[in-house]
Structure 1
Amino acid sequence: MKQKLLRLLQFWLLITLYPLSWLVPRRSDLWVFGCYNNKFLDNSKYLFLWISEYRKDIDAVWITGDRAVAGLLLNNGYRACTRWSAQGLWLSLRARVYIFSSYLSDINYFTSGGALRVNLWHGVGLKSIEYKVSAGKLAKLYHGRVSPLWRLLLPERFAKPDLFLAPSVMMAKHFAECFRISPAACIQLPYPRLNTPRYPQLAVAVAALGDYAGLREDWGSFDRVAIYVPTWRDDGSSAISSGLPDLAVLSAALRQSNTLLYIKPHPVEASGVSCELANIRIWPRALDMYPLLADFDLLITDYSSVLYDYLYAAAGPVVLYNFDYNRYISQCRDLAFNYTENVWGLWVSNFAALCDVLARPAGVATADSLAQRQVIAERFFGAPVADPMERLVATIAAAEASK
């Protein structure tokens, strides 16, 4: 019953507030930001903080459905408000620029008429997404018989962005196909979440919003600190329970090499995952991983875009733990690119082999060369840029002025 009422409310907003939003005059200097699941994360977070610190001429406001997130930002001197508050609605109606990391619903689809829509997205990578998906649940959403109905129920999933952040030539072509937009709409610049080291004020701002010092308090007692970051499985299966069936055995292997391992579940499956073993910790759900990404001595991942973030921003080795490869590409998500040719790291296909690798004090070796690592990183992220945030903001401002 509750779900039906929400759908009715959404339909009412679609035929009332959304058309009205096209009529409200918008301010060119007012930019609103948001993130998926009402979080304060990802590329939109970092661009919001950078603009707040370096571009005082732009009125940057964070929009969220979580009062705690809004309160955190307000207490740290930033502008923020909740989505359905009077202030949140008014600012969303008046803002000329919408910047988000997933869909317009990160901010508010129903107030977005006439605004410049800038999608910074949340990961490059191998996977097919949106219209390019041909396997799993998303294929039914975009290509199934009820797809026209979904356009009414989930309009934000089908709204095309005016600009899309795609860091390389290959990614621009890929995302243009996925979202059915022109490649010319793609901005080829690095992700804001990887730019923090270039900007001292941004680094200070990011550090102030999380207890990173407390997290790292005892890292010195370990010889190696690793993190396991699996991607989401569209069929609902858990990469944690399936890929790590015996945490006690894993912890024993880690003790042999004096390694501390963080397990970072995908945000969708984070609840309910716990561990009290000496060499294994669950990454704090509310804490952004990216400020420490380059500090991890080892990354363990699978088909996640975090692989390319790590290759771009860090120097440590990588374990590619692809224990469910065949199941993943057949039941969850098809891959847009050849897996073998577009990854870098040591392949591990079962739990026993993973434990064996992590028990070795000598570290992780791979046949892939460092030169190949650089080739893969630039294939997905392009060559390094000296002033990425300035260029990104200038591109958005130019598009707003010409819209």
Structure 2
Amino acid sequence: MYVTGEYLMKSLFFRLYLWGMSLLASLRPIKEKNIVVLNGSGRSGSNGYLFYKYIKANHPDYDVTLVEPWPSSHLSWETWKKIGAAKYVITTHQPFKARRAQINIQFWHGVPLKRMGFMAHNTRYRANKRNQKLWHKNADMVTSSSDLYETLMSACMAIEGKKYQKLGFPRIDYIDQPAIAKEKLLEDLFKTKDEQAKIGIYMPTFRYELEDPSVMEMIKQGNFFAFLGFDPYELNDALKDNHQYLIVKLHPYEMRMFDNFNSQCSNVAFLNNNYLFENNLDLYELLGDTDFLITDFSSIYFDYLYLDKPIIFITNYLKQYEKVRGLLLSPYEDVTPGPCVNSQKELLQVLRHPDDKQYQNQRFYWRELIDEVEDIDSCEPIFDYMTKNF
């Protein structure tokens, strides 16, 4: 069974473990220049990990510790001592402190498109009330990018407005600054060279929530789009004809279902966390090398707007997802600045000409709604604000 961080946080025994370890860790004296980053986002657009890298590179006088994965019941006592001694605790999911005197800076992990917390169709009121108390008690500052972001987050989590600061998100600082050259990425993942290459990336949301075993079975069999009548060889031929290369980055739960990460198709490559960890990279440090995005209900599309590149939306399970969990913004076709496709046939048609300029104005419109941050970068303003105000 794949155990998510959210599942752990709901477990009574795990909450008791956190309480006990926090109590012991809080006996350590707080050190003013100690920062701990509790990274629950892996390496897929992690504000925590990228902020950690920034501090390590630009503020060596601060002692910053990266804790991942978080939450976890397998942390060493040495790690807990670091958590207990930190003045600043950075989180990407639920706010957390080992002691009241600490400062919690909450980054979260994306502009929400999907319903969460109080707004979701598949959550329990009791759990939502417990989460509300955690946000009220532990979060000292919640970074934000716009009024729209704050409205969506507060609708779901009941966060008080005074906690927000429009300072942006660390992940956005890195989205248009690829850490490796496009040619190297092509060689690493596809073992080829192509001066005409157009690299796309497919990033769907967590489809296990659909509670549909047939969808999980299709994904397990290699049908990563979960299309009816999926033909990987037809897809590969179309990609080759267009000089396109598709990176497939699935949710960790779905990646665990594959026995072999090696694609049988020359122009399709699965990106797993091993590549990112081995190269000390976050996924967002590669997005600048890509030419288009394919997604469904994932909030990555809001971030990809900063690149002003084509986005294709997969809608084959839209109605099902709206029923099981729900979306915060609708109708879906009006809030997605790109073509919506429901089948492989429709996808292949769009891939012939993905850079359709008719959606450029829509991309600009939605970026303006989600981005009201005055500074170009966010890492240094966040660091400056938290160290001067707390």
* TM-score for both structures, normalised by structure 2: 0.79
2:386 maps to 1:386: no
Indicate yes or no: 2:161 matched with 1:183: yes
Please give the alpha-carbon distance, in whole angstroms, between the structure 1 residues aligned to 2:188 and 2:13.
44
Classify the secondary structure of the residue corresponding to 1:164.
strand
Which residue pairs with 1:131 in the alignment?
118
- The residue number in structure 1 matching 2:198 is 224
Q: Deviations over 1:69-106 (max 9, x none)?
A: xxxxxxxxxxxxx96323211111111111021135xx
Does the C-alpha gap of structure 1 residues 253 and 11 become closer, same or farther in structure 2, counting only changes over 3 Å? closer
- Asked whether the equivalents of residues 22 and 114 of structure 1 are also in contact (C-alpha less than 8 Å), the reply is no
In structure 2, relative to structure 1, the CA distance for the partners of 1:224 and 1:47 (3 Å cut) is same
Distance 1:31 1:124, change over 3 A: same
1:235 aligned residue: 210
Could you tell me whether the CA contact under 8 Å between 1:26 and 1:96 is conserved in 2?
yes
Aligned with residue 334 of structure 2, among 341, 347, 351: 341
Could you tell me how far apart the structure 1 residues matched to 2:77 and 2:241 are?
57
Instruction: Indicate conservation of the 8 Å contact 1:172/1:188, yes or no.
Output: no
State the 1:218 CA deviation: 2.9
Q: CA deviation at 1:173?
A: 2.0
| Contact 1:228/1:299, CA 8 A, preserved across alignment | yes
1:166 corresponds, among 133, 144, 161, to 144
Classify 1:357/1:16 alpha carbon distance in 2 versus 1 (closer, same or farther; 3 Å): closer
Q: Distance in 1 between matches of 2:173 and 2:377?
A: 9
Q: Name the counterpart of 1:75.
A: none
4+ aligned runs moved over 4 Å, structure 1: 6-9, 19-24, 37-41, 154-160, 236-239
Is the contact between residue 124 and residue 166 of structure 1 (CA under 8 Å) also seen in structure 2?
Answer: no
Question: Where do 1:238-387 residues align within 5 Å?
Answer: 238=216, 240=224, 242-243=226-227, 245-273=230-258, 274=261, 275-286=263-274, 287=276, 288-312=282-306, 314-358=307-351, 360=352, 362-365=353-356, 367-368=358-359, 370-383=360-373, 385-387=375-377
How many residues align? The count is 357
Q: Secondary structure at the match of 2:52?
A: helix
Question: How far off is 1:122 after superposition?
Answer: 1.0
- Provide the secondary structure at the position in 1 that maps to 2:273: coil
Shift of 1:50: 0.8
Separation of aligned partners in 2, 1:12 and 1:186:
29
Q: TM-score, normalised by structure 1?
A: 0.77
Q: Partners of 2:271 and 2:362 in 1: how far apart?
A: 30
The CA deviation at 1:217 is 6.2
2:40 to 26, 29, 36: 36
Q: 1:10 aligns with which of 14, 21, 30?
A: 14
Q: Deviations 1:214-245 (Å, cap 9, x if unpaired)?
A: 34863525532111111112235447251373
From the superposition, tell whether residues 325 and 214 of structure 1 become closer, same or farther in structure 2 (CA, over 3 Å). Answer: same
Contact 2:200/2:246 (<8 A) preserved: yes
CA RMSD of aligned residues (A): 3.4
Indicate if the aligned counterparts of 2:189 and 2:269 stay in contact, CA closer than 8 A.
no
Percent sequence identity is 22
The worse-fitting range, judged by mean Cα deviation, of 157-166 and 386-395 is: 157-166
Read off the aligned partner of 1:243 and give its amino acid letter.
F
Change in 2 beyond 3 A, CA 1:15/1:323: closer
Within 1, Cα distance between the matches of 2:42 and 2:174? 22
Gaps of at least 5 residues in structure 1 are 67-81
Does the CA contact (< 8 Å) of 2:202 and 2:295 recur in 1?
yes
**1:268 Cα deviation from its structure 2 partner:** 2.5
- Please state how far the C-alpha of 1:375 moved relative to its aligned partner: 1.8
